[in-house]
Structure 1
Amino acid sequence: MLWLEVVGWAGSVLVVVSLMQARVLRFRVLNLIGAVLATGYNAAFGIWAFAVMNGAIAIIDVYWLVRLLRERHDERAYTVVDVGRDDAYLRHFLGVHGEEIARFQPGFALADDAHGFLVARGDEVVGVVVVRDVGDGVGLVDLDWVTTRFRDFTPGEFVYRHSGVFAAHGLRVLQVEPAPQMREYFAKVGFTPGATRWVREVEAA
């Protein structure tokens, strides 16, 4: 039947496309849909070895999707590491991802009065926030960037949740000048539009 052939080809295409995705969540979703379609196609034609294999892949995808979505806002899954400005790994991380950071935030440079906060998931650094002390208890967010794999999870929010890391540096207020594509994100992590910059108060440590 023609429609079954379409289903089979669609499943195969989605599985291949999923393997080309750098983002973890997008990979799992596309792989799951492809595996489900492939399972149905192979079962319809009695190709049970491939039906079972794709069914198992679908179950594995569901497991990881549930886990990833559950940990999306789980403070136990992410750690904020206060590393200062001159930390060797911070500079290494910024250097490795420099080209991509420049595409998202042209002109970014690590200022003399800046401070870095790395966001780690287990032993993997997945994001960085750089804040500059501009005086009077105000911190200006120069950079909030996440690696491609975890861009669907916005792990940078954990830096703002742990407001004590900013209060420890004498900051009372955070400000940012978000690019248009970043405004929805900064609204989600507690910033509100101001006259010239978006603002978020820092909770006491």
Structure 2
Amino acid sequence: MNPWLEAIGWLGSILVVLSLTQARVLRFRWLNLTGSVIATVYNAVVGIWPFVAMNAAIALINVYWLWRLHRTRHDAATYEVVEVAPDDAYLLHVLRTHAEDIAHFAPAFAAVPGDGERRSAFLVQRGDETVGVVEVGDAGNGTGVVLLDWVSRRFRDFTPGEFVYRRSGVFAAQGFTRLLVPPTARADERYLTRVGFVPADGGWIHPVTAEA
């Protein structure tokens, strides 16, 4: 057998196996699609038709799910934002469960608010699954400081936290006129720009309006 052809066959198999190690939904689908397409072509060339049919079917399934995932990634009907108390038992359970991952993005974040500390907390839900948490602290003078904007690994490619910032009315109702991401935060600038933050002295600013 042609060694280059055999190498292509191995590449397809490796990508399919590698895809199964991915926690992120979108990354899994793209790797699995690439591997199954390569495997389809390889098996067609060598004439193993049952594997051609199987891998072609897997590729079509991946295309379908990628279409659905991309179609709904910015759809407000797909994600629900639920405001909860900052000491809500379920919220604290989520924060404890994912404490190690959260600490990577917000090492200074404390799950339990301090005495007298005012916070707003939001769960981002996809059906009955919690996919993200956003917490904002009151710094006074109408400024809310984003203490945490965390998304679970599975949905990290979809940035569901954006739906919290779309609901400016919930922040206005609590007296905030702007949200601040401090310069010390480990923030993704592309994400901040997409959800409405603008660079300013002292970090990134998101103006708050009274819109619902």
Give 2:94's aligned amino acid.
Answer: F
Distance 1:66 1:17 in 2: 21
Matches within 5 A, 1:96-115: 96-110=97-111, 111=113, 112-115=117-120
Aligned to 1:75: 76
SS of aligned partner of 2:188: helix
Deviation at 1:5, TM superposition (A): 0.9
Aligned to 1:187: 193
Give 2:180's aligned amino acid.
Answer: Q
SS of aligned partner of 1:154: coil
Q: Verify the 8 A CA contact 2:151 2:159 in the aligned structure 1.
A: yes
Give 1:172's aligned amino acid.
Answer: T
**Percent identity, aligned pairs only?**
60
Distance 2:23 2:146 in 1: 26
Q: Which runs of 5+ in 1 are unaligned?
A: none
SS of aligned partner of 1:199: strand
Scaled by the length of structure 1, the TM-score of the pair is: 0.95
Which range moves more in the overlay, 71-80 or 186-195? Answer: 186-195
Give 1:27's aligned amino acid.
Answer: F
Matches within 5 A, 1:13-32: 13-32=14-33
Deviation at 1:181, TM superposition (A): 4.7
The partner residue of 1:158 within 139, 159, 163 is: 163
Distance 1:46 1:135 in 2: 70
Q: Which runs of 4+ in 1 moved over 6 A?
A: none
Distance 1:135 1:159 in 2: 20
Aligned to 2:126: 121
Deviation at 1:131, TM superposition (A): 0.4
Q: Which runs of 5+ in 2 are unaligned?
A: none
Aligned to 1:37: 38
SS of aligned partner of 1:139: strand
Q: Verify the 8 A CA contact 2:105 2:186 in the aligned structure 1.
A: no
Aligned to 1:94: 95
Give 1:119's aligned amino acid.
Answer: V
Distance 1:37 1:188 in 2: 34
Scaled by the length of structure 2, the TM-score of the pair is: 0.92
Distance 2:20 2:187 in 1: 26
Q: Verify the 8 A CA contact 2:123 2:133 in the aligned structure 1.
A: yes
Matches within 5 A, 1:51-70: 51-70=52-71
1:13-57 Cα shifts (integer Å, max 9, x gaps): 000000011111000000000000111111112211111111110
Distance 1:163 1:2 in 2: 59
1:145-189 Cα shifts (integer Å, max 9, x gaps): 111111111111110012122122222211111535522221221
SS of aligned partner of 1:74: coil
SS of aligned partner of 1:95: helix
Which range moves more in the overlay, 69-78 or 159-168? Answer: 159-168
**Structure 1 residues 129 and 171, CA gap change in structure 2 (3 angstroms):** same
